[in-house]
C-alpha cells in the first residue's frame, strides 16, 4: 500500500475522473469536438474527451510514487484493478448526472443554467443510443480506459513511449486532416488511403498504419537511441561541434524550404507564430532576463503597428498624416520610437518591483489601447475605424512578383527578423549585460552593492524589449494591411506571457516551442479557437504548479526554481522508470 493504492485514493481519483468528464461536457468541449472525426465516423475527438479524464486519473494512480526519496512502483495487477475501479466510478458518476439532467422536469432543466446541456449533448454522451444502454456503454468504455491508463503507467517506458507516440501521430494526423489533406494533395500524392471523405476521419487502414509505423520507429529508436546518445556523449569535443553544426544546418535548411512544403495556409499560421515568437523574444528579455514582470507588453506592439501604419500608409489611410515611406526605411524609425517609449514607460517605474510593476505596466497597456481607439487622436490614428491601406513591401524578380503580404514571402520576412532577434537575445544573455540582468533578477540590492547600475540595466531591458516588440507590431501591420484598435487588448500581453512561461523563462528555444504550441496549434485547429483562452489559462496554472521552469528550461533559471540536489537525489535513488520528480514548493526550502 506504500504505492498509494488505497481505497480512498482510488475513490477520489475516480470521482475526479468523472468530474473531469462532466466539466468537459458542461464547458461545451465534448459536443464541439464531437464534430471532429478522428478515425472513421465513430471515433470523434468529443468521444475521446469522454474517456480521457478517467484514463488520466488511472495513470496518475498507477504511476510510481516517490516516498521518502524512493520511487515505489505499485503492483501491476492491483494497479490494473484500481484503474478499472476508477473507470467504473467515473463512468457511474457521469451516468448518474446524465440521468439527472435528462430526468428533471422542464422547470428545473439543467439547460436553463448550463447552455451546453442540450438533447444533442445527451445523445453524444450516450453514443446516440437510448439512455440506459448508452450509459452502460459509457461505463464500459470508461472502465476499459481506466484499466488502460493504469496499464500504460505500469508498463515500462520502452513500451509506453512507442504506444503514446503512435497514438499522438494518429491524433495529429486526424485532427489536422483539413490541413494535411490539402498539403498532401498539393504535393500531388493520393490521400484516399489515409483520409476518408465519406466517413470524415482517417480510414481504418490509414489509422492502423499511422499508428504502427511511428510506434515501430519509436520502439526502434528507444533501443538504438540510447547507444547513439552514448556514442555522441563519448565523442570528442570537435566531433560534438560538428554534429551540432550539422544539426543547425539541417534546421536552417528545413526552415528555408518549409513554406514550399506547407502551402499558403500553414505558412500563414507560421507567419503568425513568428509574430508571437518575436513578441515572446522581446518580452523574454524584460521578464525572463531582467525579471521585470510586464503585463502591458501590448503597448509596444501597438506602437510598432501604428507607427508603421502611419509612416507607410497611403494618403487615404484614415490618418491626417501622410508620409508614404517604404517598409524598410520605416523599420529603424519604428524601432527607435519604440525604444524611446520603452524608456518613457520604464523611467517612472524604476523604483517599483514585482507586483507593483505588474499593475503599472498593465495600466500602460490599457492606456495604449484606449489611446489608439480614442476620438481625441482620431485624426492621427484613425480612431475606431482604424487605419487602412498599409502597403506591404514588394519587388519583382525576373517577372515574378513577390508581395510580402502573401503568406509565403511574409514567412521569410518574419523569419529574418526572428533570427535577428534570437541572435541579439542570445548575445545579450551571454554578455556582461546579460549577467548584470541575472544578478539584478536574483537580488536587486546585492547586485547594486556589487556595482551593477540597476537603473541603467532596467532601462536597457525595457528599451530592448520594446524595440523587439515593436518590430512584431510593424510586421503585423504589414501582414494585415489595415489596423483596428480592437486588436490591441490585454490578451495580447497575456498571450505573449503565456508563451514564455510555457517554454521556460529566459530560454530562447523555450520561446520557440511556446509560440509553436500556443499560437501554432490553435491556428491549425480552428475548433480550438473557442477554447483557446481556456486552454491558455489551464497551461499557465499547470506549468506554474508542475513545471515552473517551463518545457525547455534555461539552465540557470532551473537552479533558481528547483533545488538541484534534491532532484538528483530523487533521480539517482528512483527506479530507472521514474520520471524526474516534481518537487512541490511546500517541500522545497524557501
Site for other proteins in 235-254 (CB under 8 A): none
Least CB distance to other proteins at residue 323 (A): 19
Read off the DSSP letter of residue 483.
B
- Kindly report the backbone phi and psi dihedral angles of residue 230, in degrees, each rounded to the nearest multiple of 5, phi listed first: -60, -45
Q: Which residue has the cell 499558403?
A: 264
Calpha distance 184→60 (Å, rounded): 38
Site for other proteins in 33-62 (CB under 8 A): none
* Closest CB to other proteins among residues 75, 444: 444
Tell me: does residue 65 bind other proteins (CB under 8 A).
Answer: no
* Segment contacting other proteins by CB under 8 A, of 94-102, 230-238, 333-341, 526-534: 526-534
- Kindly report the backbone phi and psi dihedral angles of residue 353, in degrees, each rounded to the nearest multiple of 5, phi listed first: -130, 155
Tell me: does residue 578 bind other proteins (CB under 8 A).
Answer: no
Tell me: does residue 507 bind other proteins (CB under 8 A).
Answer: no
Least CB distance to other proteins at residue 132 (A): 25
* Closest CB to other proteins among residues 114, 127: 114
Tell me: does residue 159 bind other proteins (CB under 8 A).
Answer: no
Tell me: does residue 114 bind other proteins (CB under 8 A).
Answer: yes
Q: DSSP labels for 154-219? A: HS-HHHHHHHHHHHHHHHHHHHTHHHHHHHHHHTT---TTTB-TTTSSB-HHHHHHHHHHHHHHHH
Pick from 325, 326, 328, 278: nearest CA to 466: 278
Read off the DSSP letter of residue 582.
P
Least CB distance to other proteins at residue 498 (A): 8
Site for other proteins in 249-278 (CB under 8 A): 263-266, 268-269, 272
Tell me: does residue 72 bind other proteins (CB under 8 A).
Answer: no
Site for other proteins in 341-380 (CB under 8 A): 347-356, 358-360, 362-364, 366-367, 370-371, 373-376, 378
* Closest CB to other proteins among residues 326, 542: 542
Using CB under 8 A, which of 68, 106, 113, 236 touches other proteins? 113
Tell me: does residue 116 bind other proteins (CB under 8 A).
Answer: yes
* Closest CB to other proteins among residues 405, 573: 405
Calpha distance 424→464 (Å, rounded): 10
Pick from 429, 456, 454, 432: nearest CA to 443: 454
Q: What is the 3-state secondary structure (H, E, C) of 380-412?
A: HHCHHHCECCCCCCEEEECCEEEECCCHHHHHH
Least CB distance to other proteins at residue 572 (A): 22
394 is written with which cell numbers? 514588394
Who's near 571: CB < 8 A, 6+ residues apart? 578, 580, 581
CB 167 within 8 A of CB 211: yes
* Closest CB to other proteins among residues 81, 552: 552
Show the site string, 192-221: x = touches other proteins by CB under 8 A, - = not.
Answer: xxx--xx----------xx--xx--xx--x
Tell me: does residue 456 bind other proteins (CB under 8 A).
Answer: yes
* Residues linked to residue 37 through DSSP beta bridges, in sequence order: 44
Using CB under 8 A, which of 22, 38, 94, 388 touches other proteins? 388
Using CB under 8 A, which of 409, 485, 506, 574 touches other proteins? 485
150 is written with which cell numbers? 493504469
Element (H, E) at 70: strand 70-72
* Closest CB to other proteins among residues 263, 393: 263
Tell me: does residue 533 bind other proteins (CB under 8 A).
Answer: yes
Amino acid at each position: 500500500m506504500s504505492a498509494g493504492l488505497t481505497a480512498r485514493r482510488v475513490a477520489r481519483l475516480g470521482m475526479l475522473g468523472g468530474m473531469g468528464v462532466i466539466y468537459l461536457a458542461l464547458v461545451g468541449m465534448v459536443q464541439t469536438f464531437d464534430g471532429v472525426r478522428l478515425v472513421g465516423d465513430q471515433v470523434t475527438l468529443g468521444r475521446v474527451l469522454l474517456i480521457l479524464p478517467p484514463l488520466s486519473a488511472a495513470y496518475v494512480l498507477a504511476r510510481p510514487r516517490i516516498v521518502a526519496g524512493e520511487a515505489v512502483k505499485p503492483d501491476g495487477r492491483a494497479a490494473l484493478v484500481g484503474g478499472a475501479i476508477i473507470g467504473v466510478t467515473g463512468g457511474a458518476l457521469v451516468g448518474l448526472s446524465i440521468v439527472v439532467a435528462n430526468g428533471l422536469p422542464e422547470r428545473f432543466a439543467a439547460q436553463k443554467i448550463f447552455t451546453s446541456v442540450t438533447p444533442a449533448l445527451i445523445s453524444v454522451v450516450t453514443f446516440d443510443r437510448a439512455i440506459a444502454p448508452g450509459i452502460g456503454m459509457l461505463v464500459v468504455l470508461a472502465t476499459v480506459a481506466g484499466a488502460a491508463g493504469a496499464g500504460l503507467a505500469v508498463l515500462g517506458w520502452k513500451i509506453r513511449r512507442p504506444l503514446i507516440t503512435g497514438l499522438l501521430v494518429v491524433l495529429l494526423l486526424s485532427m489536422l486532416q483539413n490541413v494535411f489533406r490539402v498539403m498532401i494533395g498539393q504535393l500531388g500524392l493520393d490521400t484516399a488511403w489515409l483520409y476518408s471523405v465519406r466517413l470524415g476521419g482517417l480510414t481504418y487502414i490509414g489509422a492502423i498504419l499511422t499508428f504502427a509505423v511511428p510506434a515501430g520507429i519509436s520502439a526502434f529508436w528507444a533501443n538504438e537511441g540510447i547507444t547513439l546518445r552514448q556514442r555522441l556523449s563519448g565523442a570528442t569535443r570537435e566531433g560534438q561541434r560538428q554534429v551540432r553544426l550539422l544539426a543547425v544546418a539541417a534546421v536552417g535548411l528545413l526552415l528555408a524550404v518549409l513554406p514550399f512544403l506547407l502551402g499558403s495556409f500553414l505558412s500563414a499560421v507560421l507567419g503568425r507564430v513568428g509574430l508571437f515568437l518575436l513578441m515572446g523574444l522581446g518580452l523574454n528579455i524584460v521578464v525572463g532576463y531582467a525579471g521585470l514582470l510586464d503585463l502591458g507588453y501590448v503597448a509596444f506592439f501597438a506602437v510598432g503597428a501604428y507607427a508603421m501604419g502611419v509612416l507607410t500608409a497611403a494618403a487615404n489611410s484614415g490618418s491626417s498624416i501622410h508620409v508614404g515611406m517604404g517598409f524598410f526605411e520605416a523599420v529603424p524609425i519604428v524601432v527607435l520610437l519604440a525604444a524611446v517609449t520603452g524608456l518613457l514607460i520604464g523611467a517612472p517605474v524604476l523604483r517599483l518591483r514585482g507586483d507593483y510593476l505588474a499593475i503599472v505596466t498593465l495600466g500602460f497597456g490599457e492606456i495604449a489601447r484606449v489611446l489608439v481607439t480614442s476620438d481625441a487622436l482620431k485624426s492621427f490614428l484613425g480612431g475606431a475605424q482604424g487605419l487602412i491601406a498599409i502597403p506591404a513591401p514588394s519587388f519583382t524578380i525576373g517577372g515574378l512578383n513577390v508581395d510580402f503580404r502573401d503568406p509565403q514571402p511574409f514567412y521569410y520576412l518574419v523569419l529574418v527578423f526572428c533570427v535577428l532577434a534570437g541572435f541579439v537575445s542570445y548575445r545579450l544573455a551571454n554578455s556582461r549585460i546579460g549577467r548584470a540582468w541575472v544578478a539584478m533578477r536574483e537580488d536587486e540590492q546585492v547586485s547594486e552593492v556589487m556595482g551593477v547600475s540597476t537603473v541603467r540595466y532596467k532601462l536597457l531591458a525595457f528599451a530592448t524589449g520594446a524595440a523587439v516588440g515593436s518590430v512584431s507590431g510593424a510586421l503585423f501591420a504589414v501582414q494585415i494591411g489595415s489596423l483596428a484598435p480592437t486588436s490591441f487588448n490585454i490578451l495580447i500581453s497575456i498571450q505573449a506571457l503565456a508563451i514564455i512561461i510555457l517554454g521556460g523563462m529566459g530560454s530562447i528555444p523555450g520561446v520557440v516551442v511556446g509560440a509553436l504550441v500556443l499560437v501554432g496549434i490553435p491556428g491549425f485547429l480552428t475548433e480550438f479557437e473557442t477554447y483557446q483562452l481556456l486552454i491558455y489559462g489551464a497551461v499557465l496554472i499547470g506549468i506554474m504548479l508542475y513545471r515552473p521552469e517551463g518545457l525547455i528550461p534555461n539552465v540557470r533559471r532551473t537552479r533558481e526554481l528547483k533545488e538541484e540536489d534534491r532532484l538528483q537525489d530523487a533521480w539517482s535513488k528512483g527506479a530507472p522508470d521514474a520520471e524526474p520528480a516534481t518537487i512541490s514548493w511546500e517541500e522545497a526550502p524557501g
